[in-house]
Chains A and B, each alone.
Chain A
Amino acid sequence: MLSRTLISRLRQITGPEGIIDGSEDLLIHSGDAVEAGAHTDVLVSPGTEEETAAVLALAAGEGIPVVPRGSGTGPSLASVAREGEIVLSSARMNQVHSVSAEDLIAVVGPGVKLEDLHRHALAAGLLYPVHAAIDRPATLGGTIGESTNGLRAVKYGGTRNYVMGMRIALPGGEVVQTGARTLKCVTGYDLARLFTGSLGTLGVCTRIFLKLLPIQETNVVTVAIFDRAREAAEASQRILEDGIRPSILELMDRTTLCAVAKTGNAPFPDDAGALLLIETDGLRVAADGQAERAGAICHASGAHQVRQAGTAHAVEAFMNARRRAFAALAGTAPAIVLEDVRVPRSKVADLVGSLRALLEIEGVAMAVFGHVGEGRLHPAIPVDPGDSEDVERARRIVEKISGEVRSLGGQLGPERGVGLGPRVFLERRIAPEKMEMARRLKETFDPVGIMNPRAVL
């Protein structure tokens, strides 16, 4: 437990408005979208870079772990804190400093929400193409820590492709700037990209320089309904092989669709076996033409219904259905193990096929959804943590998935889950020699080892 003296020293740094130390308020500030977290002692929310650096210097001096936190809407457990740790929130560093249409650059604080950056960029006729799948309120700091790809990565790439530079407060209290406001800046190591995806284990960004794009003339959303998920996955492969560049290419299988339908108005038929959500964008003529070709490919691949969402309302209904997939599935079982499976794009139909087969063998209502265009899917396995047989079965399924994925030349990302408490399937998914390199790298930035020590890369 942190001492009152330490908390009052933190209060001196940020002022009372930057400190939360009541048990009622800390309860939710210690968890994320996956785990509730234990009671922590203090949340500190600096208002400036200087305050952030001072907090880190104090924590390093005292050897107290610091868990950086955006909006706590991620599923990776990276912002889950424990007793004796300082939760460092970016909530008050939420200024959009500038959006430049001339330089195609936005400069923002880490606490700015994705939806706010989208709005500011749009007002300047610009686009920040990272759209997190489930969380509009995600912060830029959080998406950098997680290296979020989101829904449009199939065409635009993820956060990593847009971070041009940042200012970072290091654990000792030093502040460094990496990268720049220019589109090319490769003098020395590309530290900004090293920090992207580091889950707050190296330091805390205090200001972020992001690349923006000119806005596209139009977006066309097409929805194809299939009987089987494998057919939908095959169609997605053919769409990409045909040279079409969809900006969204997402799959939801029957189990996912049923869960979504249970949470409210579903914009798809009750008996849909799988749904492919396709967005094409660009000049009107190109977006329409590609949408038409993608639709024809879906028909040829077995889709029994293909239609374009004609109104903004219809587009939102389908996007919302996809966005709420994870939360809807979480509501169907006491706990959910959510895997993040990546295979080469050409193998994604095989992956879907083997996941479906596994589902039939094990007789479990596993759902499959995700970024099929990137070759990246989320199998979601329902588990009752109180039933040891159930947990054992889930573990068996994860092992089988892992085997299938490796045989297809892919890999498993960090495991995620809902309602499980401590991870039950914790396993190192990074090769030992790579872990050793990562450890040495971390030591360089964080010699005392205070930065998010339990985050699993």
Chain B
Amino acid sequence: MTKRLREVEQEIRRCSRCGQCRSVCPVFAESLVESHVARGKIALAGAALDESLDVSRTLSNRMSLCLNCKTCIENCPAEVRVDEIVLAARDHLHEKGKNPFLKHAFIDNVWTRGRVFARFVQTASRMQPLLFKRGEGGGGTARIPLAGVDSERRIPMFESRSLLSRIPEVISPEGKPRMRVALFVGCATNWVYPGIGESMIRVLVDSGVEVVIPRGQECCGVPMLNAGDFDRAGKQMEKNRAIFAGHGYDAVVTGCASCGLALKKEMEEILETGPYLPQVPVYDFTELLAREIGVEPGALDKTVRVTYHDPCHLNRGQGITAEPREVLQSIPGVEFAEMPEADRCCGGGGLFSLSHYDVALKIGSRKAESIRETGAHIVATTCPACMIQLTDAIARSGQDVRVMHVAELLVRKLTSNE
């Protein structure tokens, strides 16, 4: 019996099966199958724990049908930590060799090996244009039928040069810096949306902040944690700790909600290995701006209606909802429109949409309809992983809506056709 599953036994027993999670789980809303909702997964974890159920690939599939959006926890009368239970069950399944082989082979041999991963993405970035056609609004669709890829799906397109390779390690403002922050970049910003990183750096430097972007930083470890590979997740944390320890700074900032949650508490809570980056506070980019720095952004060229999508890991993960809205509304020219259920998960869920694209698509289409109701031309958010999912969902819904990170909107001069 895996130690970690035993450690959450008390948490499993705390579920009283009241079923409140049924009314909020985005996955369950699409399937109506009880083993897809928290109550069902907890029962399955309990059965795996007392060995009354075989550890099977079906069990692995059910445990993988969780976005880690934490909506069930927020609505649970006993606040049962469903995330810890599901992750411990995935860890158990991983140890038993029941999780998808390819995913773990990729994690073991590519994603957790910095240089190999960089070479992989560079190669992919060269191959992608041959196989995928860049679409209006971002991402690309397959030029030819590809096994396992939906013909209309917008795939994130990799950049040939990562953010980390484009910029110097330290960028200083004019005059004496008011503070020095370290930027935790994250994989999606580094390889898919380097513009987010460049925008964040520009806003910070323009505000008199010195930004250090430690070289050699790698994936935060969340994809490994979510895949149930706690050991590799822990190793990613150790590598990043060592890299960041070599620099002096007053705070760490990130523009990725999931990286932010990992750095602030998720890895510490689940791996129980002490703070990710000790001694200094970790901020989401919008949190740092709203609480510590304050910006007076330049006006957009024209008025544009903007809505905001709450990433689960910023909202329920970190309790941050007001700050990104405050920053957006401070931009002259932004006409802010709240969407219905702005805090509902977009269905991305990191690697979830790779394994369960059909479910992710349905969840994403609900989000696209919420966005449509606002009449907005731009949906802003604070998580590049959500941006990948939103780009696909919006393109498939036939809307002409741009997906942007709040940081990008802060530095953007809108062109006249937007």
Which A residues are closer than 8 A to B by beta carbons?
20, 22-25, 27-29, 31-34, 36, 45, 71-73, 91-92, 94, 113, 115, 134-137, 263-264, 320, 323-324, 326-328, 330-331, 418
Query: A138 to nearest B CB, angstroms?
Result: 8
Contact B22 A34 (CB under 8 A): no
* Contact in complex: A72, B58 (CB < 8 Å): no
Q: Choose among A137, A328, A330 the residue that contacts B20 (Cβ–Cβ < 8 A).
A: A137
The distance in angstroms between the C-alpha atoms of A158 and B33, with both chains bound, is 29
- Bound: A115/B23 CA distance, A: 8
Q: State whether A28 touches B16 (Cβ < 8 A).
A: no
Chain B residues whose CB sits within 8 angstroms of the CB of A71 once the complex forms: 19, 22
CB distance from A285 to the nearest CB of B (A): 32
Q: Quick one: given A72-B34, A91-B32, are A263 and B79 in contact (CB under 8 Å)?
A: yes
A323 pairs with B62, CB closer than 8 A: no
Task: Look across to chain A and name the residue whose beta carbon is closest to the beta carbon of B75.
Answer: A136
What is the minimal beta-carbon distance from B63 to any residue of chain A, in angstroms? 10
Binding site for A on B (CB under 8 A): 14, 16-20, 22-23, 32-35, 39-40, 43-44, 47, 53-54, 56, 58-59, 62, 77-79
A-B CB proximity, top 10 nearest: A324-B77, A73-B19, A330-B16, A327-B77, A137-B23, A137-B22, A28-B40, A327-B16, A91-B32, A25-B35
Q: How would you classify the secondary structure of chain A's contact residues: helix, strand, loop or mixed?
A: loop
Chain B proximity of A18: nearest CB distance (Å):
11
For residue B27, give the distance in angstroms from its CB to the closest CB of chain A.
14
Cα A27 to Cα B78 with chains together (Å): 22
In the complex, chain A residues whose CB is within 8 Å of the CB of B44: 24, 27-28
Asked if B35 contacts A137 (CB within 8 A), the reply is: no
Q: Which residues of A are found within 8 Å of B34, using beta-carbon distances?
A: 25, 28-29, 72
Contact A326/B16 with A24-B44, A28-B44, A331-B78 known, Cβ cut-off 8 Å: yes
The reply to whether A24 and B16 contact each other, CB–CB distance below 8 Å, is no
Q: What's the nearest-Cβ distance from chain B to residue A135, in Å? A: 6
**Alpha-carbon distance between A92 and B195 when the two chains are bound, in angstroms:** 45
A22 and B20 in contact (CB under 8 A), knowing A327-B77, A328-B77?
no
Tell me how far the C-beta of A259 lies from the nearest C-beta in chain B, rounded to whole angstroms: 10
Question: Which of these, B17, B33, B53, contacts A33 with CB under 8 Å?
Answer: B17
Question: Bound state CA distance, A136 and B58, in angstroms?
Answer: 29
A72→B34 CA distance, assembly (Å): 9
- A22 with B58, Cβ < 8 A, contacts A28-B34, A28-B44, A137-B22 known: yes
Q: Are B22 and A33 in contact (CB under 8 A)?
A: no
Say yes or no: A324-B78 contact (C-beta < 8 A), given A24-B62, A27-B43, A28-B43: yes
Q: Would B56 and A24 count as touching, CB distance under 8 A?
A: yes
Nearest CB on B from A374, distance (A): 22
Contact B22 A73 (CB under 8 A): yes
CB of A72 within 8 A of CB of B19, answer yes
How close is B163's CB to chain A, nearest CB, in angstroms? 40
Residues of B close to A264: CB separation below 8 A: 79
Residue of A36, A134, A135, A327 contacting most chain B CB atoms (<10 Å): A327
Min CB distance, A69 to chain B, in Å?
Answer: 10
Asked if residues B77 and A27 are in contact (CB atoms below 8 Å), the reply is: no
Judging by beta carbons under 8 Å apart, are A331 and B14 in contact? yes
Could you tell me the distance between the alpha carbons of A94 and B30 in the complex, rounded to whole angstroms?
12
A92 contacts across to B, CB distance below 8 A: 32
**How many angstroms from the CA of A326 to the CA of B53 in the assembled complex?**
29
**Distance A113 CA – B21 CA, assembled complex (angstroms):** 13
Cα–Cα distance between A25 and B58 once the two chains are bound (Å):
9
B280: shortest Cβ distance to chain A, in Å? 29
Could you tell me the distance in whole angstroms from the C-beta of A89 to the nearest C-beta in chain B? 8
Q: Which residue of A lies closest to B79 (CB)?
A: A264
Residue of B nearest to A262 (CB): B78
Cα–Cα distance between A278 and B361 once the two chains are bound (Å): 44
Query: Does A33 contact B18, Cβ atoms closer than 8 Å?
Result: yes
Residues of B within 8 A of A263 (CB): 77-79
- Find B16's partner among A20, A23, A25, A418 (CB 8 Å cutoff): A418
Our pick among A25, A73, A327 for the contact of B33 (Cβ within 8 Å) is A25
Least CB distance, B72 to chain A, in whole angstroms = 12
Give every chain A residue within 8 A of B43 (Cβ-Cβ).
Answer: 27-28, 31, 36
Measured in the bound complex, the distance between the Cα atoms of B25 and A136 in whole Å is 13
Q: List 29 A-B contacts (CB under 8 A).
A: A22-B58, A24-B35, A24-B56, A24-B62, A27-B44, A28-B35, A28-B44, A33-B16, A33-B18, A36-B17, A45-B32, A71-B19, A72-B19, A73-B18, A73-B19, A73-B22, A91-B32, A134-B18, A135-B20, A137-B20, A137-B23, A264-B79, A324-B78, A326-B16, A327-B77, A328-B77, A330-B16, A330-B78, A331-B16
